[in-house]
Amino acid sequence: MRTHSNSGFAADGAAAAFEILPGDAGAGLILLCDHASSHVPGEYGSLGLPASEFERHIAYDIGAAALTRALSARFGVPAVLSHFSRLLIDPNRGLDDPTLIMRLSDGAVVPGNARIDRAERERRIARFYKPYDDAVNGAIEAGIASGRLPMILSIHSFTPFWKGIPRPWHAGILWDADPRLARPLIAGLARDPAIVVGDNEPYHGALKGDTLYRHATRRGLAHALVEIRQDLIAEPAGVDEWSERLASVLTALEIGTAPHHVEFFGSLTGPLVD
């Protein structure tokens, strides 16, 4: 069975909803990993799912936590990782998003979410979603306070197949309107002729209320979300390969120097998620 970060939940069921990897707040880069863990505290059981479902992408982003740790160590920068399964609640969604708590995920019915009431929804927000969100906010505020505005890079992974159709990309960079980090990342990765890089593939980065919207778009901070195909980082050798590849691109971008200024792109109209 593949191992992943499940520490941080006390025996009495009290949850630490996040882990912070230490680093230089003034280094100019903060890493996020929204779907780092497949852990579900004991009182939730298995949400009615077989154990095999917690090895799938519906429970967490395979390889994303290991890649985040490797990059954090490589650059000596802070990182914030979730410590709960996205099946409990998805921190990369706005509070008004209907997929915040999934009842059906890639063909799997989630019995423990099927009849969730408002009180349980609010409990999960207070216990998991908000502490992680606050930790991300705190890390970014520390970066701002250092005097060097940080860029924000969110690490995710995607399944090689969707509804039986193979996905051709090895990696994708997701972004909405701010091109400052996304475009150079796409160009840098695309210099390797051995890989296919998606520009807003296999998903689009314009997801109002998601983690980067709440914490980077609204602040005018340069940001991007990187997606790596899960089979490429499921094992340590793949994590090493992709951490080296991303580190090479990030080094070329001189992350400690630019772009570290506030700039707003597109529209921020409409309801904001706090």
Candidates 63, 6, 71, 54; CA nearest to 234 is 63
- Judge if the upstream peptide bond of residue 78 is cis by omega within 30 degrees of 0: no
> Is 7 inside a domain boundary?
no
| Single pTM value for the model | 0.91
Count of structural domains, the chain = 1
| Element containing residue 212 per DSSP (H, E) | helix 211-215
> Is 146 inside a domain boundary?
yes
> Is 207 inside a domain boundary?
yes
> Is 263 inside a domain boundary?
no
Give me the pLDDT at residue 123, please: 97
Beta strands in the chain (DSSP E): 18-21, 29-33, 79-82, 104-105, 108-109, 151-158, 161-162, 165-166, 171-174, 197-199, 223-229
> Is 156 inside a domain boundary?
yes
CB 92 within 8 A of CB 210: yes
Q: Which domain holds residue 59?
A: 18-252
Instruction: Give the tokens for residue 260.
Output: 């570290």
> Is 44 inside a domain boundary?
yes
Count of beta carbons in the 10 Å neighbourhood of residue 224: 24
Give me the pLDDT at residue 268, please: 52
Mean pLDDT by 10 residues, the chain (274 residues): 33 67 96 97 94 93 98 98 97 96 86 94 97 98 95 97 89 96 96 96 91 96 97 98 96 77 71 33
Give me the pLDDT at residue 266, please: 76
Give me the pLDDT at residue 109, please: 86
Candidates 183, 219, 224, 220; CA nearest to 206 is 224
CA–CA separation, 43 vs 40, rounded Å?
8
CA distances (Å), origin 83, targets 8, 9, 32, 133 = 7, 8, 12, 12
CATH number at residue 154: 3.40.630.40
> Is 3 inside a domain boundary?
no
> Is 12 inside a domain boundary?
no
Q: Which residue has the tokens 């979300």?
A: 225
